[in-house]
Structure 1
């Protein structure tokens, strides 16, 4: 099966599944369709690019199934003109889709190998407003100003308030938190003035965040 056929059939099946979940945002779905996921998955898993299963990446990382990825993007309610921070670049797919919907995306990861691979895939996808950096994201992103949206894909032991402080008023943080040794839950935090409104969303498969930049990989 060629890459083009995988993309076409995979997206069509995805759109049907998402519609069943009540996700029919045309701008979001168009951004997903315009971002070929086969550019971001390891070549040996290209046939699973549009599946809901976790796919392994280098450095012991993984990319979430596309259903979960789009579900998170839908929750973020991304709009033109927004600045977005993503903590945990992974394959770069989510950052690329966000780049089609917003003004600027800064995505960070501790692994040089993942940063390099994501950068190449994002460039192939034709995105010029997505910046990929190798950074330790375990203690926030000082010196980068504020963001309209922050998406975290590595689990913290508690809601990372240092990221919440980098939100503009009306901004949103979506982040996974380890609620027990074995369960990780996605939480949403919306900032209104100096007040934060928290919502518990659903269980996710993300791994605990690891501090420091990886030196060897």
Structure 2
């Protein structure tokens, strides 16, 4: 099957599944359609680009299934004009989708190999408002001001309250939180004053965040 047909049919099937799950945000769906997912997956997984399966990528990392990626972005509610911090670039797909909507996206990734690969994909798409940096992300991103939204895709053992300083008032972040030895829950934290309001969303397959090793990878 030709790549164009894979994209068209894969996206159409994804939209049907997302609508069944209540994801109908037109701006988000348009951003996903404008970001060819097959360009972000390893060549041997092109036919699975729009499936719900987890796809392995380099450095022992993985790419969320298309359904989970879309659900996370739907819960994040990125809007035009927003500045977004993305912790865990991976393939670069979610950062690219957010870049279609937001004013600017800063994305951090600890693996140099993944950083270079994601940068190449974004350059190929002509996206200049998504900046990828190599960093562990365990303390967010200091010295870059505040953000309207933060997305984290590596799990914390406790609510990362230090992120409150990096969010605007009313801003929110979505992050995985370990709730047991092998259980992880996606949570939304909304900044109200100097505190967070927490909302549990759904279980997710993320791994604990490993700090302070980016310089070695």
Give yes or no for TM over 0.5: yes
Give 1:175 deviation, angstroms. Answer: 0.3
**Bigger CA drift: 75-84 or 119-128?**
119-128
- Aligned position for 1:46: 46
**Structure 1: 5+ residue stretches without partners:** none
Structure 1 SS opposite 2:196: strand
Match of 2:120 in 1: 120
How much does 1:215 deviate?
4.4
Q: Distance in 2 between matches of 1:13 and 1:164?
A: 38
Q: Provide the rounded CA distance (Å) in 2 between the counterparts of 1:71 and 1:23.
A: 7
Q: Distance in 1 between matches of 2:113 and 2:163?
A: 25
Aligned-pair distance for 1:90? Answer: 0.4
Aligned to 1:133: 133
Matched with 1:180 is: 180
Kindly indicate whether the alpha-carbon contact (under 8 Å) linking 2:174 and 2:188 is maintained by their aligned counterparts in 1.
Answer: yes
| Kept in 2: contact 1:111–1:213 (CA 8 A) | no
8 Å CA contact 2:135–2:215 kept in 1: the answer is no
Question: Distance between the aligned counterparts of 1:126 and 1:29, measured in 2?
Answer: 19
Deviations 1:7-61 (A, max 9, x none): 0000000000011011111111000000000111011111100000000011110
The CA distance in 2 between the partners of 1:79 and 1:207, in whole Å, is 28
Matches within 5 A, 1:77-156: 77-156=77-156
Cα deviation, residue 126, structure 1? 2.1
- Would the aligned equivalents of 2:135 and 2:214 in 1 still touch at CA under 8 Å? no
| C-alpha distance after superposition, 1:68-92 (max 9, x if no partner) | 1010111111111000000000000
Q: Which moved more, 1:26-35 or 1:155-164?
A: 155-164
Secondary structure of 2:208's match? coil
Shift in Å at residue 140 of structure 1? 2.5
What's the CA shift for 1:194?
2.6
| Structure 1 moving runs of 4+ over 3 Å | 213-217
The Cα offsets for residues 142-163 of structure 1, whole Å up to 9 and x where unpaired, read as: 1111000000000011111122
Which whole-Å CA distance do the structure 2 matches of 1:115 and 1:108 have between them?
8
Alpha-carbon shift at residue 123 of structure 1 (Å):
1.4
**2:71 equivalent to 1:34:** no
Structure 2 contact 87–153 (Cα < 8 Å) conserved: yes
1: distance between equivalents of 2:164 and 2:205?
22
Q: In 1, Cα distance between the equivalents of 2:51 and 2:164?
A: 32
Q: State the superposition RMSD in angstroms.
A: 1.1
Corresponding position of 2:76: 76
Aligned positions, number: 217
Q: Unaligned regions of 5+ residues in structure 2, if any?
A: none
**Which region of structure 1 is more displaced relative to structure 2, 90-99 or 139-148?**
139-148
